[in-house]
Amino acid sequence: MDYELLKVIWWVLIGVLLIGFSVTDGFDMGVGSLLKVIGGTDSERRIMINSIAPHWDGNQVWFITAGGALFAAWPVVYATSFSGFYFAMMLVLAALFFRPIGFDYRSKLENTKWRTSWDWGITFGSAVPPIIFGVAFGNLLQGVPFEFDQYLRVTYTGSFFALLNPFAIVCGLVSLLMLMTQGGAWLQMKTDDALLVKASRITAITGALAAVLFILAGVWLAYGIDGYVITSVIDGNKVMTPLMKTAEVQPGAWLANYEKVPALMLAPLIGIAGMLFAALASVMKKGALAFLSSSLGIAGIIVTAGGSMFPFLMPSSSYPSMSLTMWDATSSEKTMMIMFVVACIFVPIVLAYTLWNYFVMYGRLTKKHIEENNHSLY
């Protein structure tokens, strides 16, 4: 297995980890985002929280694994993104604090004001991360203002508020809506009575909106945002730095991969169809089908973003030739080979115990069950 193939494999693996995170941790963030939207009573909100209680911390493994893989496989991307998006990442971290604390603390006191405050905290902690992640991807597609000196020391010249541009906000809303759709579909499989009806209605709305905004973002990207293209010859087996290539901005460059690999068009089509079928399945009260459809939709949307940018990982709007790509921002061949072996062993293990957890905890939660286990459940 040569160095070039390892670089491609790790591009695929990190994509798989991001999809795994979005599908699994995505549904519990989606449920949390919907907590104050459809949770009309304390009992309904407790049902929603307890529907994800056995899974949410296990789902975080995908998030942590994706972050660790990013650090190990693409250390330059990790360093540059966390430096440039520092305040955005701190906001994500601060928001994530509210989730475990809120889950554990909200039911400690039977006080309406206390529980309402923690409900808003859980909603905030669940809705902000997907918005920030979507905004980050929106900025990556436009290019991020950074540059390197001769010693590969990075300088970021942007600001937090510059990240909140119109296109990035649309991407943030797509991210939030697709996870809310995932969360709503999950609730359809885990609840009954009035909460099931409300979950079906909101999933139909968020699924349709996610599809519409995803189409809008795609048209905007195709006709209103220039892409990046490498203009020098690349040797994938060579050890490279971001200063060892040339690149430039070209209109329509993000569509070039679809011309080279027509099968890639399946990704946006699956993204759109997945969200629309999730909405339709929700109207038909088919919760499992809605969950499967939204999962495929999420995968399609993520593959669309990655496939459009390939091989770019973090384009530089300041100096396009200093953009980070999968060819010049990777770890050593030895590091990537060791990581590949580790991934082949542990990713299936994580997937296996995750599926086992879902199998064991399968079933619907009812208001009666929640009230009868008032002290043992959230």
Per cent of the chain over pLDDT 90 is 60
pLDDT given for residue 316 in this prediction: 94
Quick check: 60 and 25 in contact, CB under 8 A? yes
Q: Which segments of the chain does DSSP mark as H helices, in order?
A: 3-33, 35-38, 42-52, 56-73, 75-84, 86-105, 112-142, 166-190, 193-224, 256-260, 266-283, 287-309, 333-360, 367-372
Residue 376 reports pLDDT greater than 60: no
pLDDT confidence band for 168 (50 / 70 / 90): very high
| Burial class, 190, CB count within 10 angstroms (exposed 0-12 / middle 13-18 / buried 19+) | buried
Q: What is the pLDDT, as a whole number, of residue 193?
A: 83
- pTM of model > 0.85: yes
Lowest mean pLDDT among 15-29, 57-71, 265-279, 354-368: 354-368
Mean pLDDT of the chain: 90
Sign for the CA dihedral angle at 321, 333, 233, 309 comes to negative
Give the three-state DSSP class for 232: coil
The pLDDT score that the predictor gives to residue 42 is 87
Q: Output the pLDDT for position 91.
A: 92
Report the pLDDT value the prediction gives residue 1, as an integer from 0 to 100: 77
Q: State the Cα–Cα distance between residues 224 and 116, nearest whole angstrom.
A: 43
pLDDT tens digit sequence for 290-343: 999 999 999 999 999 999 999 999 999 999 999 999 999 999 999 999 999 988
Check pLDDT > 90 for residue 152. Answer: no
CA dist 154 and 76 (Å) reads: 9
pLDDT score of 199: 94
Q: If 0-12 CB within 10 Å is exposed, 13-18 middle and 19+ buried, where does residue 315 land?
A: buried
In this prediction, residue 377 carries a pLDDT of 60
Residue 152 is classified by DSSP as: -
Separation CA 210–CA 294 (nearest Å):
10
Evaluate if residue 375 carries a pLDDT over 70: no
Among the ranges given (10-14, 35-39, 81-85, 165-169), the one the predictor scored with the smallest mean pLDDT = 81-85
pLDDT at 117 over 80: yes
Q: Is the pLDDT reported for residue 364 higher than 80?
A: no
Predicted confidence (pLDDT) at residue 226 exceeds the cutoff of 80: yes
- What band does 2 get if pLDDT is binned at 50, 70 and 90? confident
| DSSP string across 41-63 | SHHHHHHHHHHHTTTHHHHHHHH
The CA-CA-CA angle for residues 310, 314, 316, to 5°, reads 115
pLDDT for residue 65:
85
Task: Inform me whether the pLDDT recorded for 374 exceeds 80.
Answer: no
Of the pLDDT bands very low, low, confident and very high (cuts 50, 70, 90), residue 104 is confident
What pLDDT sits at residue 370?
Answer: 67
Q: Compute the average pLDDT of residues 60-76.
A: 87
What does the block give as tokens for 230? 């490498």
More confident residue, 1 or 37: 37
Digit-coded pLDDT (tens) for 13-58:
999 989 988 998 889 999 999 999 998 888 889 899 988 888 888 8
Q: Which residues pair with residue 146 across a beta bridge?
A: 156
Q: 268, 261, 232, 253: which is closest to 315 by C-alpha? A: 253
Task: With cut-offs at 50, 70 and 90, classify the pLDDT of residue 106.
Answer: confident
